[in-house]
Structure 1
Amino acid sequence: MPSASANYRTLLRTAGAPAFFFPAAIGRLGIAMTGIGIVWLVHARTGSYAAAGLVTGGFAVADAVAGPQIGRLVDRFGQAQVLPCALGAHAAAVALLLTSAVPDLVAGVLVGATLPQLGALSAARWSALLSGERAAALPTAFALEALANGVSYLAGPALVSVLGAAGHPGAGVLLAATLVVGGGLALTVQRSTMPPLTGRSERRHAGRALLRSAFLRQVAVGLALGVFFGAMQVSVTAYAVERGTPDAAALLYFAFNCTNLVGGWAYGVWGQGGSPRRRQAAAAACLTLTSLPLLFIDTPLAVGATLALAGLVIPALLILASVLTEAAVPRAVLTQAFTWGNSANAAGTAGAAAVAGRVVDASGASGGFGVAAGAAVVMTAVALAGVRNSSPDVPKPSAPTETTARTALPPT
């Protein structure tokens, strides 16, 4: 681990990197808190989990649909122009939700539709910063992003739950919005690392890359991974309840999340080299192999160990999806491409939770684990299709065009 620390420290010593990475990480913590914060707030207001779930679902769908559109505007006009507008609209939407000025469902949709994907903006900055001779450090940078994401989704929901249990259900939503807006504004002022804008003709042709198989495969991988997450959330809880030990669910989630962080940390240091497509296929196959035993094992220790092994593999899939997405599309649509991956993951999670719930009702927790294993099998097939496809990745321009030089924002 000392070499791992040195590697990440070296990356963060890159000029301008800490100034955008840490604000984005703070904002991402707020993003991770928003959904569960809405659950606590709406349930406290209505006394109904059904109402809370409906509002949270509206939030998630709006976030998944609007995210790529915000990314598209960022690619066209730049982060400094689009992000302040999105943050202002998000703050206003949260205010509507907290004050009940509009129906909760309407407010939840507005909160999701205005939530900027700060992780995608940070990933786009890494891509611009580590171009050319420094491109070999990109997998480590994306591993660092995956670590920040993992920590956010481990700590954020727990913090909101503590506030809600203490009798402050609205505090979680307010704190989440504060972190999102504060982190986003701090990111906005860091202009020196913003990706340069591209010319109009380049943007016109770049959008076609979003329809190419190399990129669509990564969207499919993100969707399948979301299905895996959603099915696991339902199935682990159902397994613990079936055994009469509902408290064990928290321990099982903890085992999965902790090894997830360890896997992300390790991959950023020792996962370099080789074909990313082959690595993705191997990681998907490993996830399939670790998921299948959940269909028949029954002891909590064995289930926990299996989930821990699965948690080690997940970060590699997330990191490689970012690496392959970055290689598959031109810079003119890179932010939009990253947000499409996030949206696919979120859509898969939301849809799988509903499907797996029905399967669990019909055949128990093993049926839900079967849905997760099926998603891993599909992911493996998609990744193997990428290995068989030998088409070259889309090259990135090594320098801004003349139009780019005229339209790029000056550094601060």
Structure 2
Amino acid sequence: MAGYRELLRAPGVARIIAAQLTARFPNGMTSLAILLHVEQVTGSYGAAGLVLAAASIGQATSGPVTSRWMGIWGIRRVLTLTTAVCAAAILVLALVPMEITGYMVFGLLAGLSTPPVQSAVRTIYPKLVNSRQLTPLFSLDASLQEIIWILAPVVITVVATQVGTVPGLLLIVAILLGGGAWFILSPEVGRVRIPRSRRAFGKVLRSPVVLLATVTGFLLIGACAAVEAGVVATFGHGGLEAGLVLAVFAIGSLAGGLAFGHVPISPWSMARRFGAVTLGLVLTVFAVVDITSTTAWWVSASLLVAGVGIAPALAMMFAMTSASVRFSDTAEAYGWIGTGQLIGAALGSAIAGFLIDGVGPAGAYWAAAAFAIVGVIVSAVFVRGFPDLRGRDVSPIPDTAPVDVIT
């Protein structure tokens, strides 16, 4: 922990971490709030699912695009525009009665305009600390983001069910604007200028490292989404157990990120981190074979093991991407990684849902374990594609330009 205290004493680091966590807090609330609101208005979970799918498609599509825009128009301009449009779209969803197609249109708009705070902050980090501190900073970031997934669903569920879905959406707008303004106005954001990329859009995916980070992120978050569906199916929507079990899962990730944030990253690190996730998920499958009064304890224990590998795996994705692309391409690269994770979440939830209907909650955990096992296989088979970051500067590759020489 002494290393993290030193890290947080670096000028601007604590402020920018707090600001970006606040700005991203709505990410853990919006999907659930839209689902609850549209279901309440229309009386149909199917309609609510369509609106949520439109929002998810918009967010997955826009990530690399808006991230790349930051190198063209500047971080502050892009974040200001997207934050304003996203807040307006959610405001319309909350206050204007519409047909299902109208809700889908504004859900899509809210997704398309989701502010690329995650790409922005991970592009800024290398400018705040020295190369020795960058990997621990990525690990701390990946760990602390679990706070969003622990608290945000609880907050929005309490507000939406006890006060109303409209106040819940208005709360999201308030946090989106307040947190976004805090992050946008942070001095560190104003000091960083992302160079305009000279490469065509999408070419950053030709980097084996970026492609591997995108694929492994897809598999990791697919496993997590399947777990969430399985936990809800096991313990029910209304029970306290589901929330507590998922909180333990997130706490495992938080603990793993803090505990292993300083461990040097080798090409085999991703396989080992996926291995921890796989071990925990396979144990979870056996924990739910027979549902008893002690199942929650066994599932919590096994998911605690699985969670230990999640934040370290995410931190490795961010660090290896940072070390392998030019600074002008980092924001777009993180955008693609985010898109891979969103697709993984959607596919993991869908597969888990079908298996829950077919074979019961255990099917969701089998799906999660399968995602993780494929992650181990990909990490081992393509181990040569992962960089060796031991003793290496993980800052982005500097951009260079031709220099006129007088002869």
For 1:121, the aligned partner's letter is A
Whole-Å Cα distance in 2 between the matches of residues 362 and 136 of structure 1?
50
Distance change in 2, residues 1:391/1:210 (3 Å): same
| Residue 292 of structure 1 pairs with residue 282 of structure 2 | yes
For 1:126, the aligned partner's letter is Y
Match of 1:214? 209
Q: Deviation at 1:205?
A: 7.0
1:221-370 map, 5 Å: 221-240=216-235, 247-268=240-261, 271-275=262-266, 277-297=267-287, 298=289, 300=295, 301-370=297-366
Distance change in 2, residues 1:229/1:108 (3 Å): same
1:158-177 map, 5 Å: 158-177=154-173
1:26-65 map, 5 Å: 26-65=22-61
Distance change in 2, residues 1:331/1:255 (3 Å): same
Match of 2:85? 89
Match of 1:407? none
Query: Given that residues 209 and 324 in structure 2 are in contact (C-alpha distance below 8 angstroms), is that contact kept between their aligned partners in structure 1?
Result: yes
CA displacement, residues 355-389 of structure 1 (integer Å, 9 cap, x when unaligned): 11111222222222111111011111221234234
Match of 2:118? 119
Q: Deviation at 1:207?
A: 5.7
Distance change in 2, residues 1:189/1:251 (3 Å): closer
For 1:157, the aligned partner's letter is P
| Residue 195 of structure 1 pairs with residue 192 of structure 2 | yes
1:66-145 map, 5 Å: 66-100=62-96, 103-130=102-129, 134-145=130-141
Query: Given that residues 20 and 179 in structure 2 are in contact (C-alpha distance below 8 angstroms), is that contact kept between their aligned partners in structure 1?
Result: yes
Distance change in 2, residues 1:35/1:207 (3 Å): closer
For 2:263, the aligned partner's letter is Q
Distance change in 2, residues 1:255/1:17 (3 Å): closer
Distance change in 2, residues 1:274/1:397 (3 Å): closer
> TM (normalized to structure 1)?
0.87
Whole-Å Cα distance in 1 between the matches of residues 257 and 269 of structure 2?
14
Q: Deviation at 1:215?
A: 1.1
For 1:306, the aligned partner's letter is S
Whole-Å Cα distance in 2 between the matches of residues 342 and 252 of structure 1?
25
**Is there any run of 5+ residues in structure 2 with no aligned partner, and where?**
none
Task: Report the secondary structure of 2:268's partner residue.
Answer: helix
Whole-Å Cα distance in 2 between the matches of residues 245 and 206 of structure 1?
45
Q: Deviation at 1:214?
A: 1.6
Whole-Å Cα distance in 1 between the matches of residues 73 and 388 of structure 2?
29
Task: Report the secondary structure of 2:23's partner residue.
Answer: helix
CA displacement, residues 207-243 of structure 1 (integer Å, 9 cap, x when unaligned): 63322222101100111012101211122222335xx
Distance change in 2, residues 1:403/1:324 (3 Å): same
CA displacement, residues 51-109 of structure 1 (integer Å, 9 cap, x when unaligned): 22221221112111111110010123220221111122112212221222652111111
Query: Given that residues 223 and 345 in structure 1 are in contact (C-alpha distance below 8 angstroms), is that contact kept between their aligned partners in structure 2?
Result: yes
Q: Deviation at 1:125?
A: 0.7
Distance change in 2, residues 1:310/1:399 (3 Å): closer
Distance change in 2, residues 1:58/1:205 (3 Å): closer
Distance change in 2, residues 1:313/1:395 (3 Å): closer
**Is there any run of 5+ residues in structure 1 with no aligned partner, and where?**
405-412
CA displacement, residues 218-271 of structure 1 (integer Å, 9 cap, x when unaligned): 100111012101211122222335xx9955323322321222222222233xx3
Whole-Å Cα distance in 2 between the matches of residues 366 and 262 of structure 1?
26
Whole-Å Cα distance in 2 between the matches of residues 390 and 296 of structure 1?
32
> TM (normalized to structure 2)?
0.88
Whole-Å Cα distance in 1 between the matches of residues 25 and 394 of structure 2?
33
For 1:108, the aligned partner's letter is G
For 2:174, the aligned partner's letter is T
Q: Deviation at 1:127?
A: 2.0
Distance change in 2, residues 1:28/1:191 (3 Å): same
Query: Given that residues 330 and 396 in structure 1 are in contact (C-alpha distance below 8 angstroms), is that contact kept between their aligned partners in structure 2?
Result: no
Percent identical across equivalent pairs? 27
Distance change in 2, residues 1:207/1:360 (3 Å): closer
Distance change in 2, residues 1:260/1:396 (3 Å): closer
